[in-house]
Amino acid sequence: MNISLAIGMALAASIGIAPNVKHSPADEIKQLESVLVTGTKPGTGMWRISSGNHVVWLLGTVSPLPKQLEWQSTEVATILEQTNAVLAPPGAVADISAGDVFKMTLLARSAINATKLPGRQNLEDVLSAETYARWKLLTEKYALNSQKSERMRPVFAAQELYYGAIDHEGFTRTDVVWNSIRSSAAERSLPIIETRIKYPLEIDRKKYKAGIESLSSSTLGDIDCFNETMGAIEENIEDFSKVSNSWVVGDIAELERLKFSEINPPCKSYYDSVMGFQKRESLVGEQDSAWIAAAESALSSYTVTIAVAPLNDIIKPGGFIERLISKGYSVQGPDDARGIDGDES
């Protein structure tokens, strides 16, 4: 069960690039310069990972992508006709006990109240004049209903702004590529190999209650993350465009140059920290290892497998490609592998 659903307050996780950026009042809100590539596009090519006559075709995805993108790859469609199984993307799912859900339910009203500023305060009352003016400019730029957020605590108003800006600029965080492949696999009755790991998430009621009280009694920490979030929006919305454009035209070299990463908005991280929801440091490594193990099992069990994973997990130093090569598997990049079993037009 997802924590944010259970307590009704944490907003959905997003991706982005969020440096700690400082601004002066004279700074102008940067306009998006890159035009989103839309229409029907194939996306990047696929890596060919082989062991003897067994092959895993690995497709890397990025997020967010343009809403109007119609993803169609003849290469993927051709290989799907030959595929014996589909390997799902990596991930981690919190395993919350019924007892912990009950603990959170008891505090649900307090948690929901903590999303709002106390008394009759508005954001204008708790933010500096400079910060408030900057926030108003961004809500106007991205056509957001600022009145809806006026009564929110900065930590939640910032996330509302972050996700609203992504939506307004024509992006979707829906994994359209994986959804399409999973649907095609279901139509063909292909086995889908789940790779996500489950990890126990125990809720300390005292810590959870203390987190709610901390949010209710102070705005110092979330004002800092509020400013960081605005900086992330102003500086990196255009990076989303560059990354998605490079992906839809299959420019792996440009994607590697951009050194993109996928992280939550700053206020999501702050909220998790206050509420005691920080994940184990080892979790990313554990889910990557689980995916590698599943890929090796697929190579052993099936003649042809299609696999999907975030592109950053594939190409980063120590990522999936480097680890599979180190294990002795034969790996060909998208440019070398394209056309072996499917020809991209």
Taking only the tens place, the pLDDT of each residue in 29-43 is: 333 334 445 445 556
Q: At 330, is the secondary structure helix, strand, or coil?
A: strand
The identity of residue 150, as a single letter, is: E
- Tell me the pTM: 0.76
Distance CA 28, CA 220 (A): 25
What does the DSSP 8-state code read for residue 35?
P
209 — pLDDT class (breaks 50, 70, 90): low
DSSP strand pairing (46-51 vs 330-332): antiparallel
Q: At 70, is the secondary structure helix, strand, or coil?
A: strand
Res 284: pLDDT: 80
pLDDT in tens, 54-87: 999 999 998 888 888 778 778 888 899 999 999 9
Residues with Cβ within 8 Å of 102's Cβ and at least 6 positions away in sequence, in order, are: none
Share of the chain above pLDDT 90, in %: 34
Res 217: pLDDT: 60
Longest Cα–Cα distance of the chain, Å, equals: 69
What is the mean pLDDT of the segment spanning 85-97?
A: 87
DSSP strand pairing (192-193 vs 65-66): unpaired
pLDDT at 197 over 60: yes
Distance CA 315, CA 148 (A): 40
Residues with Cβ within 8 Å of 109's Cβ and at least 6 positions away in sequence, in order, are: none
Res 239: pLDDT: 82
Closest CA to 57 of 240, 185, 197: 185
